Structure 1
Amino acid sequence: MQSFELIKEYCNKVCEQIRWKKAKPIIIAEVENHLYDQRDAYMASGDDENAATQKAIVQMGDAIFLGQELDKTHKPRPQWFMIALTGIFMIIGLFINYYINASTESKGTFSILSYIFAFGIFVCCYYIDFTVLGKHAMKIYLFILTVSIVGVLFCPRVNGRQIWIMGMFSISLTYLSLVFPLAFSLFVYSMREKGIRGILMSGLAYLPLAFLLTVVPTISGLILYTISAFTILIFSICRGWFGVNKKHGLLLVFIPTVIMLTVSCFFIVHRMWNRISVFLNPEQARQEAGYQYCLIRDFITEAVFWGKGGVSEIFGDITALPNVNTDYPLVYLIHQFGFVVLLFITLLVVIFSIIGIYKALREKSILGSLVALTIILTFTLQSISFIIDNLGYGLISGLSLPFISYGNTALFLNAALIGFMLSIFRTGEIVVDRCSETKISKGNQSIFSYEDGKIIINLNTNHS
Structure 2
Amino acid sequence: MGLEDKFEMYISDLCKRIKNKDVHAHIKLEIHDHLHTLKEEFMSTGLSEEEAIDQALARMGDVGVLGKQLNKTHKAPMDVKTLLSVLTASLFGLLVMYYLQFHSAFTELQEMKIFNKSLVYYLLGVVLMLSLFMIDYRRLMKYSKYIYAATILILLLTVLIGVRVDDVPFLNVGFATINFTEITPFLLVVTFAGMFHSWDWNDNQKSWFGIGIMSIPILLMATTGAFAATIISIIVCAAIMHTSSSNLKQTITFTVVASIWPIWNLLSLSQSYTDFKIGEAYLIGSALQVSPSFISEVHTDLILAYIIYSFGWLAALIALALVIFFICRILITAKSVNHPYGKLLITGLAAVFSAQFILSLLTNLSLSPLTGVPVPFMSYGGSHLLLEMISVGLILSVYRRRKNKEAVSLAHFPQSN
Deviation at 1:192, TM superposition (A): 5.4
How far residue 47 of structure 1 moved from its aligned partner, in angstroms, is: 10
Q: Distance in 2 between matches of 1:57 and 1:349?
A: 54
Deviations 1:174-208 (A, max 9, x none): 3033432233223224x558984765543332111
In structure 2, list runs of 5 or more residues that go unmatched. none
Paired residues of 1:224 and 1:378 also in contact (CA < 8 A): yes
Shift of 1:380: 2.5
- Residue of structure 1 in register with 2:90 after alignment: 90
Which residue does 1:308 correspond to in 2?
Answer: 286
Distance 1:458 1:275, change over 3 A: same
The match for 1:174 among 164, 172, 181 is 181
Deviations 1:377-435 (CA, angstroms, capped at 9, x unpaired): 3223212221222112236446111221122221222122222222333x4257x5xxx
Letter in 2 for 1:28: K
Partner in structure 1 of residue 61 of structure 2: 62
**Cα distance in structure 1, aligned partners of 2:281 and 2:221:** 36
**One-letter code of the match for 2:234?**
T
Change (3 A) 1:198 1:124: farther
1:308 is displaced (CA, Å) by 0.6
Distance between the aligned counterparts of 2:156 and 2:47, measured in 1? Answer: 65
3-state SS in 1 of match to 2:178: strand
* Residue of structure 2 in register with 1:258 after alignment: 252
- Are 1:392 and 2:366 matched, yes or no? yes
TM, length-normalised to structure 2:
0.81
| Deviation for aligned residue 1:259 | 3.3
| Distance change in 2, residues 1:263/1:143 (3 Å) | closer
Task: Kindly indicate whether the alpha-carbon contact (under 8 Å) linking 1:164 and 1:170 is maintained by their aligned counterparts in 2.
Answer: yes
Distance across 2 between alignment mates of 1:49 and 1:375: 58
RMSD of equivalent CA atoms: 3.7
Contact 1:353 1:376 (C-alpha < 8 Å) held by counterparts: yes
Deviations 1:126-173 (A, max 9, x none): 224133312423222222332332233221234443212345643223
Given the superposition, is the C-alpha separation of residues 193 and 55 from structure 1 closer, same or farther in structure 2, using an over 3 Å criterion? farther
Q: Quote the residue 1:103 is aligned against.
A: 105
The change in CA–CA distance for 1:195 and 1:127 in structure 2 (over 3 A counts) is farther
Query: Could you say which residue in structure 2 is the equivalent of 1:186?
Result: 194
Seen in structure 2, the aligned counterparts of structure 1 residues 257 and 274 have a Cα distance that, compared at 3 Å, is same
Partners of 2:330 and 2:350 within 8 A in 1: yes
Letter in 1 for 2:401: G
Is residue 90–residue 115 contact of structure 1 (8 Å, CA) maintained in 2? no
Letter in 2 for 1:457: S
- Cα deviation per residue 1:211-260 (whole Å; 9 max; x = unaligned)? 121112222212211112221222122xxxxxxxxxxxx33xx4344334
Match of 2:127 among 120, 123, 128: 123
* Conserved? CA contact 1:177–1:224, under 8 Å: yes
Higher relative contact order (CA closer than 8 Å, sequence separation 6+): 2
Distance 1:5 1:462 in 2: 21
Equivalent of residue 428 in structure 1, options 401, 408, 415: 401
Rounded Cα–Cα distance in structure 2 between residues aligned with 1:105 and 1:140: 41
CA 1:15/1:155 → structure 2, altered by over 3 Å: closer, same or farther? same
Q: The residue matched to 1:103 in structure 2 has which SS?
A: coil
Any conservation in 1 of the 2:342–2:398 contact (CA below 8 Å)? yes
Paired amino acid for 1:370: L
Q: State the match for 1:215 in structure 2.
A: 223
Give the Cα separation in 1 of the matches to 2:47 and 2:200: 40
**Is the 1:2–1:50 contact (alpha carbons within 8 Å) kept by the matching residues of 2?**
no
1:163 aligned counterpart, secondary structure? strand
- For 1:20 and 1:257, locate their aligned partners in 2 and report how far apart those are by CA, in whole Å: 39
Structure 1 residue 374: deviation in Å? 2.2
Give me the whole-angstrom Cα distance separating, in 1, the residues matched to 2:209 and 2:367. 37
Number of corresponding residues: 403
1:344, distance to aligned residue in structure 2 (A): 0.5
Question: Alpha-carbon deviation of 1:305?
Answer: 0.9
Structure 1 residues 384 and 268: alpha-carbon distance in aligned structure 2, compared to 1, 3 A threshold: closer
Conserved 8 A contact 2:162-2:169: yes
Matches of 2:266 and 2:73, distance apart in 1: 56
Structure 2 Cα separation of the partners of residues 84 and 93 of structure 1: 14
Correspondence for 1:157: 164
Q: Is residue 123 of structure 2 the alignment partner of residue 113 of structure 1?
A: no
Q: Is the contact made by 1:6 and 1:53 (CA closer than 8 Å) also made in structure 2?
A: no
Give deviations 1:278-319, integer Å, cap 9, x for gaps.
6xxxxxxxxxx3531xx34x64xx21111215x7xxxxx224
Going from structure 1 to structure 2, the CA distance change for 1:53 and 1:125 (only over 3 Å counts) comes to farther
Q: Normalising by the residue count of structure 1, what TM-score does the alignment of the two structures yield? A: 0.73
What letter corresponds to residue 323 of structure 2 in structure 1?
A: V
Cα separation, partners in 2 of 1:308 and 1:27, compared to 1, 3 Å: same
* Distance across 1 between alignment mates of 2:92 and 2:268: 36
Shift of 1:87: 2.5
The partner residue of 1:325 within 289, 295, 299 is 299
**1:39·1:52 contact (CA, 8 Å) conserved in 2?**
no
